[in-house]
Structure formats: C-alpha cells, structure tokens
Structure 1
Amino acid sequence: MAPDTTAEPNALGIVEARNQLGTLVARAVHGHAVTRISRSSHERAVLISEADYEELLRARRELEAGHVTEAIAAHARGEREMMTYDSKEALYADLDLPTPSERS
C-alpha cells in the first residue's frame, strides 16, 4: 500500500524521533505513515516502511526505463543521434538520470 500523501507528513527533530522510534516504525509499517526527521536545516530524512521504499524504487526504475526507451525510440525516428560516452556519468547526465552514486 502506498503512503498517504494527502496529509502533511509528521515532522520531528532527531531527538524526538529517537525517543519515539518504536512507535514511528510501527506507524510506518502498519499505517504507511510518513515521518520527516530533521537533524538540522540541511540534514533531513524520511522514515517510511520497507514496502513503501521498495515501491518507490520500482517507480524510479520504471521512470528510468521510460527515459531510456524514449531515447531509443527518438533515435529510431531520427530525432536523436547515436552517442558514445566517455563515462557512465556522461550517459546518465544525457538521459537526465541520477548517477548510481546519487541514488540512495
């Protein structure tokens, strides 16, 4: 089941989240609740269930496959030239995809 994205996710500081971790994990697993956790204004994370995480990964792979499929189709239609790349990073950038090192 996908997380409920209609409501604003619960947001907690890291100390509060640590004190409530068991409850937050149960809410994520059983209720698909999303909790935002902030360590600072620049260090933030989201707690979701493993099932929801796997669903997000599947959706990302499908989106990436769509980008690649469209690039191949554009080449077949003559709208895109065949390219060679010096690195994987250049390939990912050309297809507007995150590099493997940018993925979580």
Structure 2
Amino acid sequence: MTTDSLGIVEARKKLGVLVSRAVHGHRPTRISRSEDERAVLISEEEYEELLRFRREREASQVREAMAAHERGELRMHRYESRDDLHADFGLPAPGDRS
C-alpha cells in the first residue's frame, strides 16, 4: 500500500478527493502541517479496526499482568482513589484541565 504525503494547504484543496480515496480505495494520506505536526487521513472503517486492535492488545497485556501476578512474578499496587492513581503517575486529576 502506498501512502501519499501532502502539505496541509495542498491537502485542504483536495480534501474531498482524499476522503474518497481513503474510504473507497483504502489509500491513506499523510498530511504535514510542520515537521512536528503530522497526521494520517484514513477511512472510518480502518480507524475502527485500529481501535479494535489496540483494545485487544491492551486486554491481552492486562490478562498477562494478572497471570504474572497470580504466579507471584508481579506485585500490584492498589489505589484508594482515582486521584491517588493520577497523582502517583503525575497526571492531572479527572476533570482538571491542567
């Protein structure tokens, strides 16, 4: 599968065509705004498939961690609240916009 790469200005001019290619031709397009800001335009069907694969992988990792814990290979920590969990990882509390 080939992936076209376009700058954001050019992609904006061709957006309808790019969406059709993504949906009907399953051809993704890389879109760059700058060196650090890049995205890929894909069909919703392909996006949903990627999400499904991600969920399956994460579920597999959780199952493996639980099995490792049961075998005594992994120590798990229990948090009393979501705020404690977020604080431990240095994340803002749920609902905070910080």
Normalised-by-shorter TM-score class: 0.7 to 0.9
Q: Structure 2 regions of 5+ residues with no counterpart? A: 90-98
- The ranges of structure 1 where at least 4 consecutive aligned residues each deviate by more than 2 angstroms after the TM superposition are 88-91
Report % sequence identity: 64
Counterparts of residues 2-21 of structure 1 (less than 5 Å): 4=1, 7=2, 9-21=3-15
1:64 and 2:58 matched: yes
**RMSD, aligned α-carbons:** 1.7
Distance 1:89 1:46, change over 3 A: farther
- The alignment covers a number of residue pairs equal to 85
Deviation at 1:88, TM superposition (A): 4.7
Bigger Rg, which one: 2
Which structure carries more relative contact order (alpha carbon 8 Å, separation 6+)? 1
TM-score by length of 1: 0.75
CA distance in 1, matches of 2:61, 2:87: 15
Secondary structure class of the residue paired with 1:83: coil
**Residue matched to 2:85:** 87
TM-score by length of 2: 0.79
**Residue matched to 1:98:** none
CA distance in 1, matches of 2:88, 2:70: 21
